[in-house]
């Protein structure tokens, strides 16, 4: 009995993973994935031959224990010698075959910067329970983000920037409880940011610029304790800037430029941890709060192209550091104060206001 069992196990082992290589079903899925793509210049798929897809298949790696395919890493812009030899960056056409969803142990899927890959993100991708990294930046993917994306409980990185994705941010999005890095930049995504965005408690970078996202900035975002970089620029965001953004522990970059935001600039933003603040090209009004002080440290503060009135706050000279300041194209009036940081700022920072005049040589 024992012998029979042993022979049986050996048989099963042999069938499932020949020579410790990948299972034939994983190999078949990879070959179907390859068949839907066309890479004319570099020959990256030339190595995808033979039975053992776990060794020497360009961009493929397997889990050392299970011998299942765990990572697909295909980057069209990389330092790999294959690119140096060809003297060019990558280009690929075709589409991402849903057969990839048969790689049920996949933990990271990177198909980045191939410029010509079209079609949709396969909907079945949300059935890959171990997926941690999905990086599809720099292709020509269209269609929507899969509605049940929230099923990817282990997902830490979602990067689909520089594609042609449309539709709304699905409401299931806010269930991505491990998401740390989100990049949706430069697509055609519309509709609002889900009100429960604050549930994304692990998020540290949220880059959504260059879409058609509308509606208010959800106040719940202020609950995201780890958020360091929030970029909502070049969208159609409306409403006021939530003052609680200036109370966030580690928020260092806040880009809200090129939207339709109104109301006044919250005083909290000017005394916060934020060091890069761009509020340019909105419809902000009222005075610039006169609250700068020792905690104000700005590499960049751009308030240009708004409807700001009143004087330049005197307290600006009390800020620890102001690298780049832009107050142009507003309705400011009065004297430009003397002293740091005004000594090193250019006249263009103050251009096109109603009645600014300088003690310095700026004008
Ligand atoms: C702020 O945003 C505007 C509009 O998008 C852009 O033109 C400007 O360069 C940005 N300012 C800085 C200092 O990066």
Q: The domain containing residue 57 runs over which residues?
A: 1-104+112-129
In a domain, 322, yes or no: no
pLDDT of 119 reads 98
Is the Cβ atom of 220 under 6 angstroms away from ligand 1? Answer: no
Sign of CA dihedral 198, 201, 203, 204: positive
pLDDT of 357 reads 81
What is the distance in A from the centroid of ligand 1 to the CA of 323? Answer: 14
In a domain, 37, yes or no: yes
What is the distance in A from the centroid of ligand 1 to the CA of 258? Answer: 9
**Confidence class of residue 89 from pLDDT cuts 50, 70 and 90?**
confident
Number of domains comprising the chain? 1
In a domain, 181, yes or no: no
**What are the tens digits of pLDDT across the range 236-284?**
999 999 999 999 999 999 999 999 999 999 999 999 999 999 999 999 9
The model's pTM: 0.91
In a domain, 28, yes or no: yes
**What are the tens digits of pLDDT across the range 114-141?**
999 999 999 999 999 999 999 999 999 9
Strands 60-62 and 69-75, bridge-based pairing: antiparallel
pLDDT of 80 reads 84
Q: What is the mean pLDDT of residues 76-104?
A: 91
pLDDT of 10 reads 41
> Which atom of ligand 1 lies nearest, measured to the CA of 326?
13
**What are the tens digits of pLDDT across the range 310-343?**
999 999 988 889 999 999 999 999 888 877 777 7
In a domain, 342, yes or no: no
pLDDT of 356 reads 83
In a domain, 205, yes or no: no
Judged by average pLDDT, the poorest of 85-89, 106-110, 225-229, 290-294 is: 85-89
CATH number at residue 6: 3.80.10.10
**What are the tens digits of pLDDT across the range 37-60?**
999 999 999 999 999 999 999 999
pLDDT of 337 reads 81
Best mutation site among 185, 229, 302 for ligand 1 pocket (most ligand atoms within 8 Å of CB): 302
**Confidence class of residue 84 from pLDDT cuts 50, 70 and 90?**
confident
In a domain, 31, yes or no: yes
**What are the tens digits of pLDDT across the range 134-170?**
999 999 999 999 999 999 999 999 999 999 999 999 9
Is the Cβ atom of 324 under 6 angstroms away from ligand 1? Answer: yes
What is the spatial distance between Cα 341 and Cα 267, in angstroms, rounded to a whole number? 19
Is the Cβ atom of 68 under 6 angstroms away from ligand 1? Answer: no
Is the Cβ atom of 281 under 6 angstroms away from ligand 1? Answer: yes
**Confidence class of residue 308 from pLDDT cuts 50, 70 and 90?**
very high
In a domain, 77, yes or no: yes
């Amino acid at each position: 009995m024992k012998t029979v069992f042993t022979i049986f196990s050996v048989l099963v082992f042999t069938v499932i993973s020949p020579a410790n290589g990948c299972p034939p079903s994983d190999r078949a899925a990879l070959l179907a994935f390859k068949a839907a793509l066309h890479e004319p210049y570099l020959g990256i798929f030339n190595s995808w031959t033979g039975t053992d897809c776990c060794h020497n298949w360009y961009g493929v790696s397997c889990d050392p224990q299970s011998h299942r395919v765990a990572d697909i890493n295909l980057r069209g812009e990389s330092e790999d010698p294959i690119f140096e030899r060809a003297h060019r960056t990558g280009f690929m056409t075709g589409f991402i075959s849903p057969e990839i969803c048969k790689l049920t142990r996949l933990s990271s899927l990177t198909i980045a910067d191939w410029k010509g890959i079209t079609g949709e993100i396969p909907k079945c991708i949300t059935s890959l329970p171990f997926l941690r990294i999905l990086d599809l930046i720099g292709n020509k993917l269209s269609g929507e983000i899969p509605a049940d994306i929230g099923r990817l409980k282990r997902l830490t990185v979602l990067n689909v920037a520089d594609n042609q994705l449309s539709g709304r941010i699905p409401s299931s999005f806010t269930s991505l409880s491990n998401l740390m890095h989100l990049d949706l930049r430069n697509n055609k995504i519309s509709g609002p940011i889900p009100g429960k965005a604050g549930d994304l408690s692990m998020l540290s970078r949220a880059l959504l610029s260059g879409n058609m996202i509308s509606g208010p900035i959800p106040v719940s975002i202020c609950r995201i304790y780890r958020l360091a970089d929030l970029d909502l620029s070049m969208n159609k965001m409306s409403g006021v800037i939530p003052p609680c953004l200036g109370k966030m522990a580690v928020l260092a970059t806040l880009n809200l430029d090129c939207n339709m935001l109104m109301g006044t600039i919250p005083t909290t933003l000017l005394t916060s941890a934020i060091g890069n603040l761009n509020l340019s090209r909105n419809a902000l009004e009222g005075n610039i709060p006169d609250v700068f002080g020792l905690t104000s440290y700005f590499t960049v503060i751009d308030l240009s192209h708004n409807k700001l009135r009143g004087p330049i706050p005197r307290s600006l000279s009390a800020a620890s550091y102001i690298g780049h300041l832009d107050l142009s194209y507003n309705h400011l009036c009065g004297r430009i104060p003397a002293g740091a940081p005004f000594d090193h700022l250019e006249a263009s920072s103050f251009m096109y206001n109603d009645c600014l005049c300088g003690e310095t040589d700026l004008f």
